[in-house]
Amino acid sequence: MKILILGDVVGSSGRQAIKKYLSQIIEKYRINFSIINGENAADDGKGITKDIAEEFFSLGVDVITSGNHIWDKKNTLSYIEKENRLLRPANLVAGSPGKGFEIYFSKNKEYKIGVINLMGNVFMTKTDNVFQTARDILKKITLKKNVDFIVVDFHGEITSEKMAAGYFFDGIATCVVGTHTHIPTADTRVLEKGTAYQTDIGMCGDYNSVIGMNKENSLKRFLKDKDAIQHFPALGEGTISGIIVDADEKTGLAKKATRLILGGILEK
Ligand code: FE2
């Protein structure tokens, strides 16, 4: 079983890269389930629209996860109630629209995959305790009991909290990936008890930027230049960044984790 997870798609550069590479990746690596984090996919890098989500699904994406920008486009509040394949962090305040975890079928309909979307508590929008939420979800989704595989997208700012989440889920989930910082880390591995892990799987977008945003303007903002404006996405060629997990069908745990960097300046 091959599971593909791609990091935060940023603006039109990120979407173009998905359009260009996703079907090739699915075919080449025989991907049986694909997840992307889509919370920065809108043209301005904030949130996602129904049209964009539907385009992703038509390109072969099975589930879209998200994070702190999930409600940036107001229509998402109603769209998420109808679209089961779009997740928001499970530990948002009680009563938030949509779902933070769900069970899906693999592309060949042979396997059940539980996808859990969480958001860190440190330096992020105020949320419920992420580890308590994870404990509660694990009472409902259990490997080899009601699902064959479990994927966790941990959307968080700091490396330590994400690493702790990796160990928390080790042997319990097929894989735990970090998202949100938009920079891929070089610690791709399978943890001791069999969970594939990478602290951050990076972004799909233009890396000739400051985490996907126009670099000149971002620098002006850091320099407190009065001409600086709101952040807006860089528009150069996008790089695909993510992870491919080769999972064991018997145990539901990972055999191998491979970092994927394709196209744009990061591949060069
Ligand atoms: Fe984020």
Q: Residue 114 has which token pair? A: 């539980």
Q: How far is the CA of 47 from the centre of ligand 1 (A)?
A: 9
The 10s digit of each residue's pLDDT in 95-139 is 999 999 999 999 999 999 999 999 999 999 899 999 999 999 999
Q: Which residues pair with 175 in a beta bridge?
A: 151, 196
Q: How far is the CA of 69 from the centre of ligand 1 (A)?
A: 6
Catalytic residue (one of 69, 155, 180, 182): 69
- Under 8 Å between Cβ of 248 and 190: no
Does an H or E element contain 115, and which? Answer: strand 112-119
Q: Residue 128 has which token pair? A: 């419920």
The 10s digit of each residue's pLDDT in 51-88 is 999 999 999 999 999 999 999 999 999 999 999 999 99
With 0-12 / 13-18 / 19 or more C-beta atoms within 10 angstroms meaning exposed / middle / buried, residue 261 is middle
The 10s digit of each residue's pLDDT in 144-200 is 999 999 999 999 999 999 999 999 999 999 999 999 999 999 999 999 999 999 999
Q: Residue 32 has which token pair? A: 């049986």
Residue 256's pLDDT is what?
98
Q: How far is the CA of 8 from the centre of ligand 1 (A)?
A: 8
Residue 31: pLDDT band (50, 70, 90) is very high
Q: How far is the CA of 232 from the centre of ligand 1 (A)?
A: 15
Residue 88's pLDDT is what?
98
Residue 7's pLDDT is what?
98
Residue 103's pLDDT is what?
98
Q: How far is the CA of 155 from the centre of ligand 1 (A)?
A: 6
Q: How far is the CA of 109 from the centre of ligand 1 (A)?
A: 31
Q: Which residues pair with 190 in a beta bridge?
A: 196
Residue 11's pLDDT is what?
98
Residue 174's pLDDT is what?
98
Residue 67's pLDDT is what?
98
Phi, psi of 187 (to 5 degrees): -110, 30
The 10s digit of each residue's pLDDT in 192-216 is 999 999 999 999 999 999 999 999 9
The 10s digit of each residue's pLDDT in 216-239 is 999 999 999 999 999 999 999 999
Residue 102's pLDDT is what?
98
- Alpha-carbon dihedral sign for residues 199, 7, 32, 144: positive
Residue 267's pLDDT is what?
95
Residue 242's pLDDT is what?
98
Q: At what angle do helices 159-168 and 130-138 cross, to 10 degrees?
A: 20
- Asked about 69 being catalytic, the answer comes back as yes
